[in-house]
Structure 1
Amino acid sequence: MKVIDLHCDVLYKLSIMSEPFSFGDADVIQANKMRLIKGEIQVQFFAIFISPEIPQSEKFTAAMRQIELFHSKVITPNPEIIHITDWTQLDLLKEGEIGAVLTLEGADAIGEDLGKLNALLDAGVKLVGLTWNPANAVAHGADEPSHLGLKPFGETVLEVLNERNIIVDVSHLNEQSFWDVLPKVKHVLASHSNARSLCDHPRNLTDLQAKALVEKGGHIHIVYYPPFIKLDFEDLTLVDLMNHFTHFANLVGEQHLGLGSDFDGIAVFIEGLQDASDTQQVVQNLRKHFTEDEVRGITANNFKNYIIKVIATS
C-alpha cells in the first residue's frame, strides 16, 4: 500500500557523513532509496535540520548545503525520484516514481532575515517548522518553558508563510507557541507528533491541542520514535504505536491522521520497524484497527485530501 511519510532526516545525515555514501543503498541511511521502494513510500518529505551546535553565522550556509545535497545525492542520480515543487504533482506521479518534498525543521537558519527565509522557500521548501526544540528568533520550542510563546519576528514570518501558502508544522513548538501560532496560520499540521495523554512528553500533543489543530483544518502525523510512544520504551512493540493511532482516531477522526516516521533522526526503534523498508508492518498493524479505506486514508489519501484543500484556498 502506497505511503506518504511527512518526516525524515536523510539530508542532515548526508551532511555529517565523512564518507561519500550513496543515498541509493547506503546501509547507514534508514530511508535510502531501496528502503523507500521496499516500504512502498510514494512521497517522502526531506527535512532541512540544522544542529544547534552550529554557530548562527554558519546556519544558513548549512541549510543551503543540505538543499545542494538534496539535489546532488537524492534527485539528480535517481531519475525516479521527483522533486515536488507544486502540490499538483502529487497526483501526477507514475508507478515506480517517488515524490520528494523539501521541508524546514526549525527556522534557526534564517536568524532574523526574511531574505534568507524567502531564499529557502524559493529553493522549494513547502513546509516549515518554526522551531526545533530550543528557542530561536521566531518562537519557543518544545524544550522551553510552556508559557513562552511566539516572538515578534515570528509574527512577520507567519505573514510571509501565509502569503506564500506554505504549510506550518507545529510538531516542535512548545505549548504557548502552538496556541499563539494556531489562530494566525493559514495552513497547518503536525508532521511527527504523538498523543501526550498516552506518553507525557513535551514533543507530543495534548488532547486539547489535537482537537484545536483539527478544527483549524490541520492533520496529525504519527511518529515512530519510541520515547514519544511510551515513556518506558524498553519493550516497545507496534501495538504501542497503534495505541496512538486509535486514540487520535477516537478523539478527532482517523481522516485527519497520517505518518511521519522520523527515520534518520532516530537511533532507537520499535521492534520490527528499523527503517523505511519495514513501513508495510505499520500498514499491516493498522488493518487490525481500521477498515481498508481508512488505512489507505492514514497512509496517503488523508494527506492528499488535505492538500486539495490547501490548493483550493491558496
Structure 2
Amino acid sequence: MKIFDAHCDVLSKLLEDPRLDFIQEKDRLDVTLERMLESKIGFQNFAVYLPASFAGEFRHVLQCIDLFYERILSNRQIHLIQTQDDLRHAHNQGQIGALLSLEGVDALQGNITYLRILYYLGVRSIGITWNYANWAADGVLEQRQGGFTAQGMNLITECNRLGMILDVSHLSEKAFWELLSRSDKPFIASHSNSSRICPKLRNLNDDQITSIIRTGGVIGLTFVPPFVHAEEPVTMDRLLSHIDHICSLGGSRSIGFGSDFDGIKEKIAGLEHAGKYHQLIELLQKNYSEEDVEHFIYKNWYHFYMDNLPSHHRIGERE
C-alpha cells in the first residue's frame, strides 16, 4: 500500500548541515531515501522551513530549494511533482513523487515577485505562517490573535491566480476564517489534528474541520506527540481518536497524514521515523475497512492534488 505524507522538514536539517546523507543518514534524519523505499512512500511533501538562525532571508529559501534539487531530486527513484501529469506519471511508474512547499512566508518580505519565483521553481503549496505573526497574517500562537494584513490578502489572491495551494497549519483562527471567505480555491491543513480530541491551539476545532471538509480540502494528521494526546508516552492508537472524530464530522475522505518528521524531537511510540509507517498501516487495517485505510494513507491526498495542481506545465503561464 502506497503512502502519501504531506509534511516533513528534512530540508531544514540539510540546510543546517549539508553534510547529512539523505540516502541513509539514520541517526540524524527521520526521512531518508532508504526509509521511504522501505515504507513504500509514494509521495512526500518537502517543506522549506527556515530555522531561527537563518533569520527568514529569501536567499536561504533558495538554498533549501537548491538542496532539494541537488540532494533529493538527484535520485532516480524520485520525481518532481509540479502538475497533474507529474502526479499521474509518478503514480503509474512507481516512482516517489516529491512535492515542494514553503512553511511560513516571512522570507518573501511582502514581495509577490518572490512568490512567483518560487512557483517557477516548483513550489506548489504555501503555509502562510509558522506559529507567530509575519507580514501576511498572525500565527496561532501570536498573542493578539489577528487575521490577515492587506498585503496578506493580496497574497491569497495571487496564490489563487497562480494555482498555489494554501495551507492553514499554524495559522490563527481569525486568519483561517478570513482565508475561507477570501479564497476561491480549497485549502489544506498539512499537519494538524483535532482540538476536540487534544486541546492544543495548533489543532483545529470542529467548525474549522467541517469547513475544510465542506470546501474539498484535506487535513493531514500529524505525529507530533503533544498534538495527539496530552499524556506521555503517546502511542499510535491515540491517532485513532482523531480519525474517528473527523469521520464523525463527515470527513472520511478529507483525512490524510502529515507526519512532521524531522521537525520534531519527541516521537510517537512505534512511529519514530518514516520507516515505521507500516506499523501505522497495520493498526489502521485492524480498525477500518481496507477502502478507508487506502484513502487515509494515500488516496485522499492524491485526489486532492490531482484536482488542484496545474494540469500541465508551461513556463510563465498561470492557471
* Interval containing the TM-score (normalised by the shorter chain): over 0.9
Deviation, 1:253, is: 2.5
Query: Hey, what does 1:291 align to over in structure 2?
Result: 289
Q: Which amino acid aligns with 2:240?
A: M
Q: Which amino acid aligns with 1:189?
A: I
Q: How does 1:240-259 map to 2 (within 5 A)?
A: 240-259=238-257
CA–CA distance in 1 between the matches of 2:44 and 2:82?
13
Query: Hey, what does 2:175 align to over in structure 1?
Result: 177
Question: Relative to structure 1, is the Cα distance of residues 306 and 62 closer, same or farther in structure 2, using a 3 angstrom cutoff?
Answer: same
TM-score by length of 2: 0.93
Is structure 2 residue 304 aligned with structure 1 residue 306? Answer: yes
Is structure 2 residue 85 aligned with structure 1 residue 85? Answer: no
Deviation, 1:83, is: 0.9
Query: Hey, what does 1:155 align to over in structure 2?
Result: 153
CA–CA distance in 2 between the matches of 1:98 and 1:168?
23
Deviations 1:80-138 (A, max 9, x none): 11111213222212454101000010101101111111111111001111001111001
Query: Hey, what does 1:22 align to over in structure 2?
Result: 21
Q: Find the residue that maps to 2:253 and give its secondary structure.
A: helix
Unaligned runs of 5+ in 2: 312-318
Q: Find the residue that maps to 1:47 and give its secondary structure.
A: strand
Q: How does 1:1-314 map to 2 (within 5 A)?
A: 1-17=1-17, 20-27=19-26, 28-56=28-56, 59-76=57-74, 78-93=75-90, 94-145=92-143, 147-185=145-183, 186-232=185-231, 234-310=232-308
CA–CA distance in 1 between the matches of 2:182 and 2:203?
21
Greater shift in the superposed pair: 128-137 or 93-102: 93-102
CA–CA distance in 1 between the matches of 2:219 and 2:195?
13
Q: Find the residue that maps to 2:220 and give its secondary structure.
A: strand
CA–CA distance in 2 between the matches of 1:294 and 1:46?
25
Query: Hey, what does 2:315 align to over in structure 1?
Result: none
CA–CA distance in 1 between the matches of 2:189 and 2:290?
24
Deviation, 1:283, is: 1.1
Q: How many pairs align? A: 309
CA–CA distance in 1 between the matches of 2:100 and 2:126?
9
Deviation, 1:46, is: 0.1
Deviation, 1:304, is: 2.1
Deviation, 1:235, is: 2.0
Deviations 1:38-90 (A, max 9, x none): 1110000000001244335xx101100000000111111x1111111213222
CA–CA distance in 2 between the matches of 1:260 and 1:146?
28
CA–CA distance in 2 between the matches of 1:156 and 1:52?
26
CA–CA distance in 2 between the matches of 1:309 and 1:91?
12
What is the aligned-residue identity percentage? 33
CA–CA distance in 1 between the matches of 2:260 and 2:43?
14
CA–CA distance in 2 between the matches of 1:235 and 1:304?
32
Deviation, 1:273, is: 0.6
Q: Is 1:140–1:150's contact at 8 Å kept on the other side of the alignment?
A: yes
CA–CA distance in 2 between the matches of 1:20 and 1:303?
32
Deviation, 1:212, is: 1.0
CA–CA distance in 1 between the matches of 2:87 and 2:307?
14
Question: Relative to structure 1, is the Cα distance of residues 55 and 236 closer, same or farther in structure 2, using a 3 angstrom cutoff?
Answer: closer
Q: Is 2:105–2:126's contact at 8 Å kept on the other side of the alignment?
A: yes
Q: Find the residue that maps to 1:241 and give its secondary structure.
A: helix
Q: Find the residue that maps to 2:132 and give its secondary structure.
A: coil
Unaligned runs of 5+ in 1: none
Deviation, 1:280, is: 1.2
Q: Find the residue that maps to 1:6 and give its secondary structure.
A: strand
CA–CA distance in 2 between the matches of 1:167 and 1:252?
23
Q: Find the residue that maps to 1:238 and give its secondary structure.
A: coil
